[in-house]
Structure 1
């Protein structure tokens, strides 16, 4: 460690990095940068690194090895690319050695690596929802998982919903683009739509609103559908919720035989659930919901409109059916027309 470096904790370093980027990038991008740096903070905590001055090329190699194999190459590339940018800032403020960013290993991505194939399958989604229905009925976790699975909407879409956007009579959810009030939709006005709900799903939402919903308003005077005691639930909290409920040990046996449950931090701590290799993200649920709809024989054009994704993008990134599943759908359609 150089004598010219000034002490800075990893947590303070990440906070300073995010403060510096605020205003230069969108709120969503800034949130993504924070999310990509969280695993590095976990690594530092596990390895007793409480001063960025102590980070060396060997440290970065260990971090690369720590994450390699646990996540997809494209995700690892995103994490490390963001870390390289952060290291630039930390070098500028004398927290790490100049040029340390060049020592960050990057994975060799193949052309197909940008097509993400992690997906929540229908049988596992049903197991999770059955568990929530039995043990956490009409809880916030239950409603989040239920809406994401049955509508396939993005996290930004469920985040935008107010109580007034829920129509219990139809029943449906109304998605509207409101950037001036902090809830833009990804495709702006083109993302606006009404999404139908089944009556059983609506019944759970009704019970959540009656029993477990915080009746609060956000800074714009709107009453969010999914709320915390502080107001509109943060997007990060949605991810935490999904990581927590999709841990296999929540509803059954752990599939990782080498893991001692007493020493498993993802099992023991909700805020570490994302580190379980079998947990899934909200976007994996979206892929699963789209795939399940296609398996059910819903025409691709209907899925495209309901999930707000073009047919081309749906085919490349979201349709995760096997060849056998596609054959079974064709078989059912052919039976109906003959």
Structure 2
């Protein structure tokens, strides 16, 4: 079925249709779970804040839309909701496929779309996504950026993600005035009325110190030729703008996908691909690269690297706006033996 054969319908109307048709053939608990999961999807579709732009017609939903939603749920999610682990994501996508199958019957989406949505694979009792960017890989990328992309928007974005352990949305929210040269610090502030909420709202507000060499790079960026002197639609000055204003979350995500490709920093492809022929070097297909990562593994890798370097848990928790319990479960991917070694220095000789 081509797009010309589809019947327009809003996400809310499609959800109402699905819930009405499934009301009597799903158990009460299952029905409530489906409603909760799909309300999240519809909320994301309608949101200019969290998605790639508001979608008001289900006819416009395609595989790229579904992929972007999965990335959002896995790496950011809505305020007060933790990112989905593999088990949760599998349930989310399973329900989404059921929804798409049902509304395909009323020509809201192409009939082949549900079958093209692949379920995440889960091994055993997997609860945590263990994909992280290692400190070694981060250093390699930063060394390349310093040499070839010094004080560009991409360089500063990657550097701040790695050094502050912040979320993608936190980075996007930074204004020029949030960078304090004298103190060597960044201020993360919750500004939902002008398009940049923090995940944990006002509780996520904090000031984060930067090392002198990081401050120097940010200063060179702010004062140099690579930063666009533009304002966003709220007349604010983003710290990391594009030519069109404040970047969308997907724009920043694409920057990270690009620079975590080994071929971009002069290394051979672990999959043996020829960069000259690989479609994943095209920004339109960059998510098909089997070895690059998105911002969330940078956050997880940064937190782990800080802990490995001896940074106390409470300090990492405050800098990264993550509870100590969630930090240990979802972000700090050190082995039990590595954690033992960290604790060793805190054990007194004489008790």
Superposition deviation, residue 161 in structure 1: 0.6
TM-score (norm 1): 0.76
Distance 1:40 1:94, change over 3 A: closer
Q: Take 2:46 and 2:97, find their aligned partners in 1: how far apart are those partners?
A: 16
Distance 1:336 1:294, change over 3 A: farther
Name the structure where helix makes up a greater proportion of residues.
1
**Residues 185-218 of structure 1, C-alpha deviation per residue, up to 9 Å, x if partnerless?**
0000100010111111111111111221111111
Q: Take 2:143 and 2:8, find their aligned partners in 1: how far apart are those partners?
A: 39
Q: Take 2:183 and 2:63, find their aligned partners in 1: how far apart are those partners?
A: 42
| Aligned counterpart, 1:216 | 230
Q: Take 2:178 and 2:232, find their aligned partners in 1: how far apart are those partners?
A: 15
Distance 1:130 1:194, change over 3 A: same
Does structure 2 retain, via aligned residues, the 8 Å contact 1:216–1:223? yes
Q: Take 2:159 and 2:201, find their aligned partners in 1: how far apart are those partners?
A: 24
Structure 1 stretch displaced more, 153-162 or 250-259: 250-259
Q: Take 2:129 and 2:115, find their aligned partners in 1: how far apart are those partners?
A: 27
Does structure 2 retain, via aligned residues, the 8 Å contact 1:138–1:205? yes
> What secondary structure sits across from 1:243 in the alignment?
helix
> What secondary structure sits across from 1:222 in the alignment?
coil
Q: 2:64 aligns with which of 38, 47, 60?
A: 38
Does structure 2 retain, via aligned residues, the 8 Å contact 1:176–1:185? yes
Distance 1:223 1:19, change over 3 A: farther
Q: How many equivalent pairs are there?
A: 301
Q: Take 2:9 and 2:267, find their aligned partners in 1: how far apart are those partners?
A: 37
| Aligned counterpart, 1:54 | none
Q: Take 1:176 and 1:159, find their aligned partners in 2: how far apart are those partners?
A: 11
Q: Take 1:259 and 1:266, find their aligned partners in 2: how far apart are those partners?
A: 10
Q: Take 1:296 and 1:143, find their aligned partners in 2: how far apart are those partners?
A: 22
Q: Take 2:47 and 2:223, find their aligned partners in 1: how far apart are those partners?
A: 35
Structure 1 stretch displaced more, 255-264 or 153-162: 255-264
Distance 1:138 1:83, change over 3 A: farther
| Aligned counterpart, 2:331 | 318
Q: Take 1:154 and 1:222, find their aligned partners in 2: how far apart are those partners?
A: 20
Structure 1 stretch displaced more, 225-234 or 81-90: 81-90
| Aligned counterpart, 1:187 | 200
Does structure 1 retain, via aligned residues, the 8 Å contact 2:231–2:238? yes
Distance 1:336 1:195, change over 3 A: farther
**Residues 238-259 of structure 1, C-alpha deviation per residue, up to 9 Å, x if partnerless?**
1000000000111233343442
**Residues 32-78 of structure 1, C-alpha deviation per residue, up to 9 Å, x if partnerless?**
99999328799xxxxxxxxxxxxxxxxxxxxxxxxxxxxx7866765
Q: Take 1:105 and 1:147, find their aligned partners in 2: how far apart are those partners?
A: 33
Distance 1:276 1:329, change over 3 A: same
**Residues 11-33 of structure 1, C-alpha deviation per residue, up to 9 Å, x if partnerless?**
x9999869984687544554499
| Aligned counterpart, 2:303 | 290
Gap runs ≥5 in structure 1: 43-71
Q: Take 1:88 and 1:138, find their aligned partners in 2: how far apart are those partners?
A: 50
> What secondary structure sits across from 2:276 in the alignment?
helix
| Aligned counterpart, 2:249 | 235
| Aligned counterpart, 2:290 | 277
| Aligned counterpart, 1:247 | 261
| Aligned counterpart, 1:8 | 3
